[in-house]
Amino acid sequence: MSYETIKHPGLNLGSAHGRDHDAAEGMVFGFWVFLMSDAILFSMVFATYVTSVGATAGGPGPHELYDIKSVFVETLLLLASSFTFGMASLALKYKHSTARLIGWLAVTLVLGVSFLGFELHDFASMFSKGGVPSRSGFLSAFFDLVPLHGLHVTGGSIWLICLVGQIAMYGVDTQVKLGIMRLALFWHFLDIVWIAIFSVVYLAGLT
Amino acid sequence: MIEQTRDGGDAATRKLEERKEFHSYVWGIALALVLTLMPFALVHWAAIPRFPLLIVIGAFALVQMLVHFRFFLHIGFKQKREDLQLILFSTLLLTIMVAGTIWIMASLALRMTMPGSP
């Protein structure tokens, strides 16, 4: 049975948060519209990648360049960070201590930054094997798609740091709550995009 | 059914709801882990012909996306209609554009291939 109507995607604050819950409806829906347009953008870059996956022009291909173990670790890191952000959302919704909220956000940030570290290491090892973006159409498309996701994660991490700063300055007020809820959607959305990347780019490339 | 209580219920109700939502996240990550491990294991260890393996990877990815939408983004049928409708419409656009692009470009590549070229 449901106690309350669900007003928007993501974890709803619920009526215990009073007017903050009402303020979230429009704000979060608007952000959801942006995420869907971002999904369209990603899908077109995916289409570009799929159409140029065979265009290696004699250069190194997926089998020479991709490292399945590293991609697996990145996948687990991002998945774990989605879960820890979920815990942060629960800490926000059920009004646990601010320390607990910041703790979960910090763990999420560490996982996100570790993901980026592994990804940069992957790119460096691809470069050392001659897999630079200018080498072939395949590599141009690869470095269009995968770093675009990495750039999103970087943006999300910067946003997360800003939110922690806001909490330190102003406490958990309406603006901070709405910010955390939107970043939660962004973070979970990026994990969904990563599912498509590890399936379409890495796993399909290594079959 | 009365679907809204403005006072938010008592503490016990909220405690119960929190447990339920915590378990939902645990279910989400457990299912996502299994759905991630399976295709990685298949690609790494199993000797399956390429085409069936691609289909299997795609199926696992789609199911895992649904799991993430359900357990992490809390999309369901009980909420405002617009949220789900927006996802479905975006998925429709996305499918038309991606499938169309791949179809046209594959067809072009096929037609442009000169006899004797690699």
pLDDT, tens digit (0-9, with 9 covering 90-100), for B20-60: 999 999 999 999 999 999 999 999 988 889 999 999 999 99
Asked if residue B4 belongs to a domain, the reply is no
* Number of cross-chain residue pairs from A and B with Cβ atoms under 8 Å apart: 146
pLDDT at A10 over 70: yes
Please give the pLDDT value at position B114: 56
Residue B116 — left, alpha, or beta (φ > 0 → left; ψ -120 to 50 → alpha)?
left
Q: Where does residue A67 fall: left (phi above 0), alpha (psi -120 to 50 degrees), or beta otherwise?
A: beta
Residue B1 forms part of a structural domain: no
Are residues B57 and B89 part of one domain? no
Residue B115 in any domain: the answer is: yes
Tokens matching residue A31: 């952000």
On whether both B54 and B100 belong to a single domain, the answer is no
Given a cut of 90, is residue A13 above it in pLDDT? no
Q: At CA A170, angle to CA A166 and CA A172, rounded to 5?
A: 85
Give the rounded distance of the alpha carbon of B56 from its chain centre: 14
| A65-84 pLDDT per residue, tens | 999 999 999 999 999 999 99
Neighboring chain B residues of A185 at a CB cutoff of 8 Å: 73
State the DSSP code for A15: G
A207 touching B, CB under 8 A? yes
Please state, for a pLDDT cut of 70, what percent of chain B lies above it.
87
Confidence of residue B83 (pLDDT cuts 50, 70, 90): confident
Mark whether B96 and B47 lie in a shared domain.
Answer: no
A5 to chain B, any CB pair closer than 8 A? The answer is: yes
**The predicted structure's pLDDT at residue A124:** 96
pLDDT tens for A84-113 read: 999 999 999 998 999 999 999 999 999 999
Cα three-residue angle A66-A186-A170, rounded to 5 degrees? 130
B109 and B65 inside one domain? no
DSSP string, A151-187: HHHHHHHHHHHHHHHHHHHH-S-HHHHHHHHHHHHHH
CB contact under 8 A, B68 and A188: yes
Residues of B with Cβ-Cβ distance to A36 under 8 angstroms: 86-87, 90
**Looking at the structure, do residues B70 and B90 belong to the same domain, yes or no?**
no
Q: Which domain holds residue B51?
A: 9-74
Q: Is residue B65 located within the same domain as residue B88?
A: no
pLDDT for res B115: 58
pLDDT, chain A, mean? 93
pLDDT of residue B78: 74
Query: Which pLDDT belongs to residue A1?
Result: 38
Q: Residue B50 and residue A48: Cβ atoms within 8 Å? A: no
Taking an 8 Å cut-off on Cβ atoms, the answer to whether B14 and A16 are in contact is yes
Read off the tokens for B59: 């199926």
Within a domain: residue B59?
Answer: yes
Q: Are residues B40 and B88 in the same domain?
A: no
Q: Is residue B19 part of a domain?
A: yes
A107 to chain B, any CB pair closer than 8 A? The answer is no
Partners of A182 on chain B (C-beta within 8 Å) are: none
How high is the pLDDT of residue B13? 86
pLDDT of amino acid A39: 95
Determine the pLDDT at residue B77: 77
ipTM of the complex: 0.91
pLDDT, averaged across chain B: 86
**A119-156 confidence digits (pLDDT tens):** 999 999 999 999 999 999 999 999 999 999 999 999 99
Domain annotation for chain A: domains and CATH numbers: 15-206 (1.20.120.80)
Query: Is pLDDT above 50 for B5?
Result: no
In a domain, B3, yes or no: no
Higher-scoring residue by pLDDT: A15, B98 = B98
In terms of domains, do B55 and B112 share one?
Answer: no
- In chain B, the number of structural domains is 2
Distances (CA, A) of A58 to A51, A65, A66, A139: 17, 14, 17, 12
Share of chain A above pLDDT 70, in %: 98
Query: Which residue carries 């709405």 as its tokens?
Result: A178
B66 with B85, same domain: the answer is no
The helix-helix angle for A19-51 and A137-170 (nearest 10°) equals 170
Distance CA A204, CA A66 (A): 11
Note whether B92 and B35 are same-domain residues.
no
- B5 to A10: CB separation less than 8 angstroms, yes or no: no
Model confidence, pTM? 0.90
Query: Same structural domain for residues B28 and B69?
Result: yes
CA dist B37 and A182 (Å) reads 29
pLDDT at B2: 44
pLDDT computed for residue A196 by the predictor: 97
B81 touches chain A (CB under 8 A): no
Is B70 part of the contact surface with chain A (CB cutoff 8 Å)? no
B17 and B65 in a common domain: yes
Of A5, A36, A86, the CB nearest to B90: A36
Q: List Cα–Cα distances, A183 to A86, A159, A190, in angstroms.
A: 11, 8, 10
Q: Could A36 and B8 be called an inter-chain contact, meaning their C-beta atoms sit closer than 8 Å?
A: no
